[in-house]
A and B are shown apart, each in its own frame.
Chain A
Amino acid sequence: MHAEKNTKKIWMIIVGCILGVIWISPFYLMLTNSFKTKKELFSDTLGLPKHLNFDNYVNSAKDLNVVSTFMNSLVITVVSVAIIILFSSLAAYAIQRTKSKWSGFFYMLFVAAMLVPFQSVMIPLVSVFGRVNMLNRPGLVFMYLGFGASMSVFLYNGAMKGIPQALDEAAIIDGASRWQIFTKVIFPMLQPTTVTVALLNVMWIWNDYLLPSLVINQPGSQTIPLTMFDFFGQFTKQWHLAMAGLTIAIIPVIIFYFVMQKQIIAGVSEGAVK
């Protein structure tokens, strides 16, 4: 019995190692080839680089305009996610605590909006916002609120059910306003959900390509995915530079992942299961 358990364990480790190597190999190939010269890359694509040569990084960083691109992505992501958190939690509080036909209708609207694929609204969206000169960064942030609200309201609504209504009533008797109740009592209690909502929206907005490509695709306001698209078009067949550029784009995400790993995985399963 014991020996049988051990062989099973060894098999799992073997299978796990093989799968792990397969899963990580794209990153291995990206990283190793980012240090090679053009010639070395073609003569030995799969091996380790002979020298740790950072020339490719220096060259591609210049073309990517790294600092300003990174800041654009950061500002758009942080502002959008902050706005989504504030307004979705407020709306979920209002909808969950009010029992009327309007609150039911609003809730239904959010759920129904989740069924609409982005591609079904993108053409009129660009046209409508273009007409009022809102194809810019504030416009983009507003669009993220509209697209991100459904899932976020849905998650906050679920969490709100677990907070007893007696807390509100006690605070009302003490003379607190609804805004005070929300900021002092309810919002702090929603903190685990806020982490989930924040992480899911960060992962989406940081990596989003299609929406910003339609709204803010001018030099100066481009985010990382937009810059990467232009960069890659420019350097096809110059794989050594392209790999260095891709590595630069990925590093912040990987660091973020290793720091927040537990919360991210917990957030993903919570977001899906609810």
Chain B
Amino acid sequence: MSKKKTWFYLFSAPVLIALFLVVLLPFFYGIFYSFTNWDGVSQSAFVGISNYINALKDPTYLASLWFTIKFSVIAIVLINVIGLGLAVLVTNKFKGANILRTIFFMPNLIGGLILGFIWQFIFVEAFSAFGKLTGIPGLGSWLATTNTGFWALVIVMVWQYSGYIMVIYISYLQGIDQSLLEAADLDGASATQKFWQIKFPLIMPGFTVSLFMTLSNCFKLYDQNLSLTAGGPYNSTQMVAMNIYNTAFSMNKMGFAQAKAVIFFVFVAIISLTQVYLTSRKEIEA
């Protein structure tokens, strides 16, 4: 046993033990639980794959999954388009550009739970006050219907994450070789041409990162969902994370909830890996 190996194991042990006990052990335990009728209290029995079959037949689970997918697709597109737009805006030189950057990023410092509460006030009170003031119809009780509740969640998510994604795009925009843009200027390229022909292809790697981050944040969303709509009305704005939580801790069907959680993991893993694979392949082509 050489001395070299001892320090290697000693230095990596604390983190590995934590990773093992906190992530890996529960992960494999969870797969085991998902095949039982465990309720958190009494002795559990092996039930085969019936939890999985029931999960895929559970209308509330499927509805929450579908709601999450719809929400994520729309939020991801809006966050990335707006985030890139904000990045392009604040990388121009004008008075106030730095202040704007600070303002756009600010919501990310504050937790989703608290942001959801602030927006609950806005959707309930400020929206209706604004509607009365301007005469714009349909601004009352936004959290009371499924459709407006959906858009309320989208608005909060876009408002929060666009600034985060903006920061990522800024670092790619600033990494662009200035001589390329100067050469394009000499050739008489317009601002639009410069954006689509030069900047856009060069910030493609930024898309991989941003899509990956927005995707996983949208899919796993819980805090904002809880504090903004709490799933209401009638669980119609419930997202997957909340459905799993409620199945486990309100209904005490731990095994059943864990089967839902395993399906959720497979879903997230497949989408993330596919997305990273597709976007990184595009980068090489471009």
Which residues of A approach B to under 8 Å, CB–CB?
Answer: 9, 12-13, 15-17, 19-20, 23-24, 26-27, 29-30, 33, 41-42, 45-46, 87-88, 90-91, 93-95, 98, 100, 102-103, 106, 109-110, 113, 115-125, 127-128, 142-143, 145-147, 149-150, 153, 178-179, 182, 203, 206-210, 214, 225, 228-229, 232, 239, 242-243, 246, 249-250, 253-254, 256-257, 261, 264-265, 268-270, 272-273
Contacts and interface: CB of A to CB of B under 8 A. Distances in A.
A106 B227 contact: no
Contact of A106 (B12, B18, B33, B268): B12
Contacts of A116: 23, 27, 265
Contact of B11 (A19, A93, A239, A265): A93
A208 to B, nearest CB: 7
A257 B113 contact: no
Contacts of B126: 29, 45-46
A203 B108 contact: yes
B272 interface: yes
B112 interface: yes
A117 B220 contact: yes
A225 to B, nearest CB: 5
18 contacts: A13-B94, A16-B100, A24-B103, A41-B125, A90-B14, A94-B11, A113-B24, A119-B244, A121-B261, A123-B261, A124-B25, A127-B33, A145-B15, A146-B19, A203-B109, A208-B111, A257-B106, A264-B109
A141 B95 CA distance: 44
B8 A103 contact: yes
B225 to A, nearest CB: 11
Q: Chain B interface: which size bin?
A: 35 or more
A249 B115 CA distance: 11
Contact of B125 (A26, A239, A249): A239
Contacts of B122: 26, 29
B108 to A, nearest CB: 7
Nearest to B98: A261
Interface stretch (B72-80, B162-170, B192-200, B277-285): B162-170
B145 interface: no
B129 A45 contact: yes
Interface of A is mostly: helix
Contacts of B262: 120
Contact of A225 (B111, B209, B249): B111
A250 B114 contact: yes
Name B's interface SS: helix
Contact of B114 (A17, A228, A272): A228
Given A19-B100, A24-B103, A239-B121, A115 B268 contact: yes
Interface of B: 4, 7-12, 14-16, 18-19, 21-27, 29-30, 33, 40, 86, 89-90, 92, 94-97, 99-114, 117-119, 121-122, 125-126, 129-130, 133, 159, 163-164, 167-168, 170-172, 209-210, 213, 216, 219-220, 222-223, 226-227, 240-241, 244-245, 248-249, 254, 257-258, 261-262, 264-265, 268-269, 272-273
Nearest to B220: A117
Contact of A273 (B4, B209, B223): B209
A24 B136 CA distance: 22
Given A106-B16, A125-B26, A127-B254, A120 B264 contact: yes
A253 to B, nearest CB: 5
B90 to A, nearest CB: 8
Contacts of B104: 19-20, 23
Contacts of B111: 206-209, 225
A101 to B, nearest CB: 12
Contact of A118 (B7, B117, B167, B220): B220
Contact of B15 (A153, A232, A268, A269): A153
Contacts of B7: 94, 178-179
B22 A123 contact: no
A249 B126 CA distance: 21
A147 B26 CA distance: 12
Which of A41, A209, A256, A257 counts the most B-chain CB atoms under 10 A from its CB?
A: A209
